Amino acid sequence: MENKTETGALRGASLRSEVRLKKKRRLADVNNRTFLLMTTPAVLVYAVFFLYPTLTNFRYAFYQWDGFLDAEFIGLNNFVRAVTNDDVLIKVLGNNIEFSLLVVIFQTSLALLFAVYLVKNTRASLALRTLYFFPTILSSVSVALIWQFLYSPNFGPINTFLRSVGLDFLALPWIGSETITLRALAFTQVWFHTGQMVVIYIAGLQQIPKELYEAAEVDGASRWQQFKSVTWPMALPTTAVVMAYTTIQSFRAFDLIFTMTSGGPNDSTSILATRIYLSAFNDLQFGYAATQSIFLVIFIVVLTGLQRRVFRAKDQ
Amino acid sequence: MKVSKSAKAFRLLIAGAFAASATVLPISNGFAAGEVRGAKCNVEGESTGTRVDSLVCKKNSAGRLVWTTIKLSSSNLKPVKAFKAPKGSIEFWHWRNEDRAYFDKIIADFEDLNPGVKITQTISNSADYQATALTKARSNPKAALFTTFRGSQFNQAAVAGFYTDLTNEQFTKRNVISSMMGSGQYEGKQLGIPYQSLFNDPIYNIKIFKDEGWKLPKTFNEWIGYCKTAKAAGYIPMAWMGAFPPQAGQIINSALMNTAANENALKKQVSDIDTGKTEITTKWFKDMAQKYADLRDAGCFPPNPKSVTEADGNALFATGKSPILPTGTFSMGGVRNLNPAMKGNMGVTGMNWTNDVNATYTGITNNPFIMGINKNAGKREQKIARAFLSYLLQGEVAEYYAKNSAQHVTVLGVEYDDVDLRNTQTIMSERLILAPRFIFLNKAVSDAAEAALIEIVGGESVDKALEDGAKKIKQILNK
């Protein structure tokens, strides 16, 4: 009898757990279905607009194609050409590094400097912050056209002013020289985006506890010592963000450079992005452009990897 | 009231004088214009238009310049009227944003004549158009009427079988100037209709030349002399746009035109560079490049020449700082927009880069803006495009376009009364060649060759610029 009761209780318990399990499974199924339903659109968008073009780009890297007639499979020829037989690509890589370094160094330093002076929420600070941020809201093509006019050798206000005050020797060919133009473009890029970085820095600096400055002041630290020992180390995570963002921005300066110089004169201002565009849409070498874009990806991965490593080491 | 005899006689005299002046003056005005068949004319090549009764200033058998009628079409029949279009919509693809308003008006008139038809202009800038338009238009069944640049783009579309054959269309035979149709032909077929008739390189400021008492240079040495004189007078001799390669490269047309004995030889030597058979360090190209250096050393180009953008170049010319704009008649509209006072003040001339006044060629012409019907468009859309094309090839429609865009056209039945169009017709008396720049079919190669010449103008030595350019071309061709 006892056995029977035990068996019945056991069966009841197993039945209950089975029901619970079934319920769980059903819930899991519903969850799975909901999960699938919710993620499918995003996955589809990702697949159609990112994955497919990326894979297609990889495929085209092995073809010779003018963008119109039939593509011809040429194996690794495009890669061999890029590595061994393209001086322009090497030059462009150099330009890219110089441009990025100039922009990252000057944009980050200026942004930090302005942020330190504008960190307090006074009326003057707020007004200046708005003023510095203003270029950021302009479209990059507008900025490029404005600066193209400013740099114009014959009608540009910069050279006109320099000549009017007798500084003719400083009236340089800002957008027509192989030595100056890349720097002039970097200056424009810095002018364009510094305001944005100031805002990021100010947000970071306002998180630094005031007590640290008070303690430093009690210890008799000068403003420079306060900056060196408090502001700079505490702003390091923000600096990492600013630098990463600035680096990516400098790689995406295509519209600015293309509108102002189209990579000229003599490829001296071409960066990888403009070179890829010109290879594809001007030279009609779509396969080779696809190969170069793979190099661009590798370049960005290596560079950001290096940056992260440097900041991780500093953090530690 | 009595009127005396003498008063009557006086009134009669006045009335007679008035009647005589009313009838005779218009006639004498007509003669004053001098545009009467057989009458003397002054500028060889000038024409009153492309109508059946239009006149051209030509030498007669006695060697005198007289107004003459000439046959411009390949047929003796009258131009064919525009076709009726079936209902539907198409897109008209081109790159001339500056013509948008004129085409809007033409399209509106066409739509009024063909209820139920809708034509939309799809316009992108010339660089984007050159690069992507064909690919986009090919897969677009609505892109039924499209235009191409002469040279590589037309060739690419022709090779790909993108065009509907227009050879046997009546408007091809009866509505256009047959001698201007060459750039729309491929393997003996008329695949596209070149709509514009341009004259390249250079435009000059008539007033400055007149005021300064300068004559238009006829040889290379005279051009060098002009540059020195103009520079000494405080001008920038040529508003050359080194920062904008597509326009900076225009003078290569003049530079190339007499580098070979004839057009076929020229085609061969350019094609050899295009395909990598020879390099730009070859003698004929080097001789030509040396002339760029000679012009540079004579002060022909602006200071900091590689910084001069298209806007700067046009402004230098429009403001009278530079008497020469080394581009072509297609720039006149833009110059007039910058300075309306330039209307009637622009002429076009040839730029002979040899010292032989009897050189084979003395001027450049071009027939771009080649209109074609997309073979991949729907059948109905093709019919609409064909009807619209036939409408664009009506004299009065083309005349409206010519007057407003300040471009000569290839269409018959047009009268040119625009002062700039009349002034620039004088180039017709030169020995013209179709712009040889477009013999290059590989755009990357032609860009690299032209970039080497731009470097020379910018101050680089001829040898170094050509060696660098040759290396670049080799790498482009992956050799």
Q: Residue B151 in 3-state DSSP?
A: coil
A48/A120 same-domain check: no
> Residue A218: pLDDT above 80?
yes
Supply A228's token pair: 């060196």
**ipTM value for the complex:** 0.75
Q: What is the residue-wise DSSP string for B230-274?
A: HHHTT--SB---TT-HHHHTTHHHHHHHTSSSSHHHHHHHHHHHH
Q: What is the pLDDT of residue B32?
A: 35
> Residue A4: pLDDT above 70?
no
Contact B450, B248 (CB under 8 A): yes
Supply A143's token pair: 């900025």
Q: What is the pLDDT of residue B178?
A: 86
**pLDDT tens by residue, A226-246:** 999 999 999 999 999 999 889
Is residue A47 assigned to a domain?
Answer: yes
Contact A69 B159 (CB under 8 A): yes
Is residue A70 assigned to a domain?
Answer: no
pLDDT band of B27, cuts 50, 70, 90? very low
Q: What is the pLDDT of residue B406?
A: 82
Average of pLDDT values for B385-390?
98
Q: Per the omega criterion (within 30 degrees of 0), is the bond before A265 cis?
A: yes
Tell me how crowded residue A87 is: count the other CB atoms within 10 A of its CB.
12
A236/A123 same-domain check: yes
Q: What is the pLDDT of residue B50?
A: 77
Contact A282 B245 (CB under 8 A): no
Is residue A74 assigned to a domain?
Answer: no
Cα end-to-end span (Å), chain B:
107
Q: What is the pLDDT of residue B34?
A: 62
d(CA B199, CA B251): 12
Q: Residue B122 in 3-state DSSP?
A: strand
Q: Which A-chain residues 200-259 have CB contacts (< 8 A) with chain B? A: none
Q: What is the pLDDT of residue B271?
A: 95
Supply A207's token pair: 């998180």
pLDDT band of A268, cuts 50, 70, 90? very high
A115/A238 same-domain check: yes
Q: Percent of chain A at pLDDT above 70?
A: 96
Cα end-to-end span (Å), chain A:
71
**pLDDT tens by residue, A155-179:** 899 999 999 999 999 999 999 899 9
Q: What is the pLDDT of residue B19?
A: 43
Q: How far is B475 from chain A (nearest CA, A)?
A: 6
Q: What is the pLDDT of residue B200?
A: 87
Any idea which of A133-142, B107-116, B230-239 has the lowest mean pLDDT?
A133-142
Contact B307 A262 (CB under 8 A): no
A280 to chain B: which residues are within 8 Å by CB? 131
Supply A90's token pair: 């090497």
Q: Residue A126 in 3-state DSSP?
A: helix
> Residue B353: pLDDT above 80?
yes
pLDDT band of B23, cuts 50, 70, 90? very low
Is residue A10 assigned to a domain?
Answer: yes
Element (H, E) at B276: none
CA distances from B367 to A110, B328, B407, B464 (A): 54, 12, 11, 35
> Residue B28: pLDDT above 60?
no
Q: Per DSSP, what are the bridge partners of residue B94?
A: B123
Contact B225, B217 (CB under 8 A): yes
d(CA A110, CA A197): 9
Q: What is the pLDDT of residue A142?
A: 95
Contact B307 A153 (CB under 8 A): yes
Q: Tell me which chain A residue has its CA closest to the CA of residue B134.
A: A68
pLDDT band of A20, cuts 50, 70, 90? confident
In this predicted model, which residue has the larger pLDDT, A154 or A131? A131
Report strand pairing: B346-348 vs B203-205.
antiparallel
Q: What is the pLDDT of residue B20?
A: 43
Count of CA atoms in the C-beta half-sphere (13 A) of A81: 24
A152 to chain B: which residues are within 8 Å by CB? 307, 309, 311-312
Is residue A234 assigned to a domain?
Answer: yes
> Which residues are within 8 A (CB) of B400 and not within 5 positions of it... i.e. 6 or more apart?
B102, B105, B106
In this predicted model, which residue has the larger pLDDT, A248 or B342? B342
| Domain total of chain A | 2
Contact B150, B366 (CB under 8 A): yes
Q: Tell me which chain A residue has its CA closest to the CA of residue B309.
A: A152
pLDDT band of B11, cuts 50, 70, 90? low
Is residue A250 assigned to a domain?
Answer: yes
Average of pLDDT values for B116-145?
89
> Residue B461: pLDDT above 50?
yes
SS (H, E, C) chain A: CHHHHHHHHHHHHHHHHHHHHHHHHHHHHHHHHHHHHHHHHHHHHHHHHHHHHHHHHHHHCCEECCCCCCCEECCCHHHHHHHHCCHHHHHHHHHHHHHHHHHHHHHHHHHHHHHHHHCCCCHHHHHHHHHHHHHHHCCHHHHHHHHHHHHCCCCCHHHHHHHHCCCHHHCCCCCCCCCCHHHHHHHHHHHHHHHHHHHHHHHHHCCCCHHHHHHHHHCCCCHHHHHHHHHHHHCHHHHHHHHHHHHHHHHCCHHHHHHHCCCCCCCCCCCHHHHHHHHHHHCCCHHHHHHHHHHHHHHHHHHHHHHHHHHHHHHC
- Name all domains of chain B by residue range, CATH numbers in brackets: 33-70 (no CATH), 88-195+369-410 (3.40.190.10), 200-366+433-476 (3.40.190.10)
Q: What is the pLDDT of residue B22?
A: 38
Q: Residue B348 in 3-state DSSP?
A: strand
By residue count, chain A amounts to: 316
A151/A23 same-domain check: no
Q: What is the residue-wise DSSP string for B90-110?
A: EEEEES-GGGHHHHHHHHHHH
| Among candidates B236, B245, B475 on the partner chain, residue whose Cβ is nearest the Cβ of A264 | B245
Supply B294's token pair: 């000679």
**pLDDT tens by residue, A58-105:** 999 999 998 877 899 999 999 999 999 999 999 999 999 999 999 999
Q: Per the omega criterion (within 30 degrees of 0), is the bond before B246 cis?
A: no
d(CA A40, CA A247): 33
Average of pLDDT values for B98-120?
96
Is residue A78 assigned to a domain?
Answer: no
Average of pLDDT values for B292-314?
94
Contact B365, B200 (CB under 8 A): yes
CATH of the domain at A253: 1.10.3720.10
Contact B306 A148 (CB under 8 A): no
Q: What is the pLDDT of residue B179?
A: 84
Any idea which of A111-115, A311-315, B210-214 has the lowest mean pLDDT?
A311-315
A27/A144 same-domain check: no
**pLDDT tens by residue, B67-90:** 887 767 666 778 999 999 999 999
Q: How far is B452 from chain A (nearest CA, A)?
A: 8
d(CA B447, CA A250): 27
Dihedral over alpha carbons A307, A289, B466, B225 (to 10 degrees): -100
Q: What is the pLDDT of residue B30?
A: 31
Average of pLDDT values for B290-316?
95
Q: Tell me which chain A residue has its CA closest to the CA of residue B456.
A: A266
Contact B312 A154 (CB under 8 A): yes
In this predicted model, which residue has the larger pLDDT, A252 or B206? B206
Q: Which of the residues B125, B139, B306, B443 would you substitute to probe the A interface, choosing the one with the greatest number of A C-beta atoms within 10 Å?
A: B306
**pLDDT tens by residue, A169-211:** 999 999 989 999 999 999 999 999 999 999 999 999 999 999 9
A21/A147 same-domain check: no
Average of pLDDT values for B115-122?
97
pLDDT band of B136, cuts 50, 70, 90? confident
A251/A124 same-domain check: yes
Domain ranges, residue A246: 84-315
> Residue B261: pLDDT above 80?
yes
B307 touches chain A (CB under 8 A): yes
**pLDDT tens by residue, A134-144:** 999 999 999 99
Average of pLDDT values for B324-348?
92
A161/A27 same-domain check: no
Average of pLDDT values for B197-203?
89
Contact B306 A265 (CB under 8 A): yes
> Residue B42: pLDDT above 90?
no
DSSP for residue A265? S
d(CA A151, CA A138): 18
A22/A99 same-domain check: no
B338 touches chain A (CB under 8 A): no
B188 touches chain A (CB under 8 A): no
Contact B82, B385 (CB under 8 A): no
A19/A153 same-domain check: no
Is residue A237 assigned to a domain?
Answer: yes
A123/A10 same-domain check: no
Q: What is the pLDDT of residue A2?
A: 55
A202/A299 same-domain check: yes
d(CA B322, CA B123): 32
Average of pLDDT values for B211-236?
97
> Residue B128: pLDDT above 90?
no
d(CA B369, CA B365): 13
pLDDT band of B29, cuts 50, 70, 90? very low
d(CA B156, CA A272): 27
Element (H, E) at B423: helix B419-424
d(CA B245, CA A146): 20
> How many interchain CB pairs under 8 A, A with B?
102
d(CA B291, CA B297): 10
Q: How far is A268 from chain B (nearest CA, A)?
A: 12
